[in-house]
Amino acid sequence: MAEQNSGQERTEQPTEKRLKDSREKGQVPRSRELNTMVVMLASAMGLFVFGGSMGEKLMRLISMDLHLDRRQLFDKGAITEALATNVLGALAMLAPFLVLMMVAAFVGPLMMSGWSFSAKALTPKLDKLNPLKGMKRVFGVQGLVELLKALAKFLLLGSAALLLLHMLSERYITLGQAPLLQGIQSGMQLILLVFLVLALTLGLVAAIDVPYQKWTHMKKLRMTVQEVKQESKETEGNPEVRGKVRSLQQQMAQRRMLQEVPDADVIIVNPTHFSVALRYDEANQQAPRVVAKGVDFLALKIREIATAHDVPIFSAPPLSRALYHHTEIDQEIPAELYLAIAQILAYVYQLENSLQGEGPAPEKPTDLQVPEKFHVPEET
């Protein structure tokens, strides 16, 4: 049956956020049958491991109580002391078994859905006291399923119990005729067998219930298309806001980039469209590095800043297009362009020396080699 929410079907699988929120609320799949089976198996294991010592300690307690003399029976202090001894002895006898049961009580839920503790699940909810919702749960599909499970458990466990009772009836009858220690130990073995058989029988129900509970849990958490979209907006932000954030980030990146232009060694330009600023630190870099680049308005801004700070500008249209399209900011130039850039830098350095009267005016390089794979059409 398709569930409806605001006129939409819950057809979408729950998102990670939906699953996480559900877990924080303590809404995780649970199987009482699995928990009961684990506890019964642990009980059988506990009786197998501790049954012998528990039987001996129980016998000593019974023997001690049956050997109280007349003076002790009429002495209130002695009776109190005997009672305290019995209580402490019983706790010591049962302690390992009880610890095992406590651990087993956590193992079932951990196997089903892992560790999950939620303070929200402990918060009282008044809507749980609503009788109408309670009736809906009882007479709804979930209530019918629980009723069928209860009947199945009753039939399986009842049949197994009757079969065991029939098969072990003679052993039960002879328990009263056995010596005390032997009778206690035999009784422990019978209880162990009963727990083991009933646990394995309950495992049949758990094998069906566990997948069903997981499927039901996921079905309850299904979402409508609108809910998925709304969650996406809440998680990632409104598209308009994201666009403004990206725009601000780009503006900040451009400002940081333009701050690098005054320290560049040369600006290689296509006079009408592209500008690429290069810097080369021979001591710390293997090759010249791109510190800024831009097209159209940004290219013009780079040239304006370069002019204001006396950074050389070199016009090489094919090379500028190649650098713009095949490099990133703060990245070294490709090895295939080393020769062309080296020629430009050598020209720039010689020109600076010439302007300072330290050498003749250099000849401007005109035949700059740009490999074919770096060619970019002029309109690009």
Q: Can you give the pLDDT at residue 320?
A: 86
CA 56 to CA 30: how far, in whole Å?
39
Claim to verify: residue 165 and residue 263 sit in the same structural domain: no
Model pTM greater than 0.85? no
CB 341 within 8 A of CB 293: no
Terminal-to-terminal C-alpha distance of the chain? 57
CB 11 within 8 A of CB 224: yes
**Higher pLDDT, residue 230 or 320:** 320
> In this predicted model, what pLDDT tens digit does every residue of 108-159 receive, in sequence order?
888 877 666 665 555 656 555 566 665 666 666 777 777 887 888 888 888 8
Q: Is residue 41 part of a domain?
A: yes
Claim to verify: residue 180 and residue 313 sit in the same structural domain: no
Q: Is residue 139 part of a domain?
A: yes
Residue ranges making up the domain that contains 100: 28-220
**262 pLDDT more than 60:** yes
CB 108 within 8 A of CB 114: no
Claim to verify: residue 199 and residue 317 sit in the same structural domain: no
Which CATH number belongs to the domain containing residue 292 in this structure? 3.40.1690.10
Q: Is residue 58 part of a domain?
A: yes
Claim to verify: residue 158 and residue 47 sit in the same structural domain: yes
DSSP conformation letters of 99-159: HHHHHHHHHHHHHHH-----HHHHS--GGGG-HHHHHHHHHSHHHHHHHHHHHHHHHHHHH
- The helix (H) or strand (E) run that includes residue 267 is strand 266-269
**236 pLDDT more than 70:** no
Q: Is residue 237 part of a domain?
A: no
- For residues 343-360, one letter each, b for 16 or more C-beta atoms within 10 angstroms of the residue's C-beta and e for the rest, the string is bbbebbbbbeeeeeeeee
Claim to verify: residue 213 and residue 266 sit in the same structural domain: no
CA 352 to CA 354: how far, in whole Å?
5
**Higher pLDDT, residue 231 or 349:** 349
Q: How many domains would you assign to the chain?
A: 2
- At 68, the amino acid letter reads L
Q: Is residue 325 part of a domain?
A: yes
CA 357 to CA 359: how far, in whole Å?
6
Claim to verify: residue 88 and residue 196 sit in the same structural domain: yes
Show the tokens assigned to 79.
């009776």
Claim to verify: residue 187 and residue 303 sit in the same structural domain: no
Domain final residue pick, 205, 220, 235:
220
| Three-state SS at 97 | helix
Q: Is residue 232 part of a domain?
A: no
CA 323 to CA 267: how far, in whole Å?
11
Claim to verify: residue 201 and residue 309 sit in the same structural domain: no
CA 319 to CA 270: how far, in whole Å?
8
Q: Is residue 379 part of a domain?
A: no
Claim to verify: residue 62 and residue 152 sit in the same structural domain: yes
Contact partners, residue 41, CB within 8 Å, separation at least 6:
104, 195, 196, 199
Q: Is residue 332 part of a domain?
A: yes
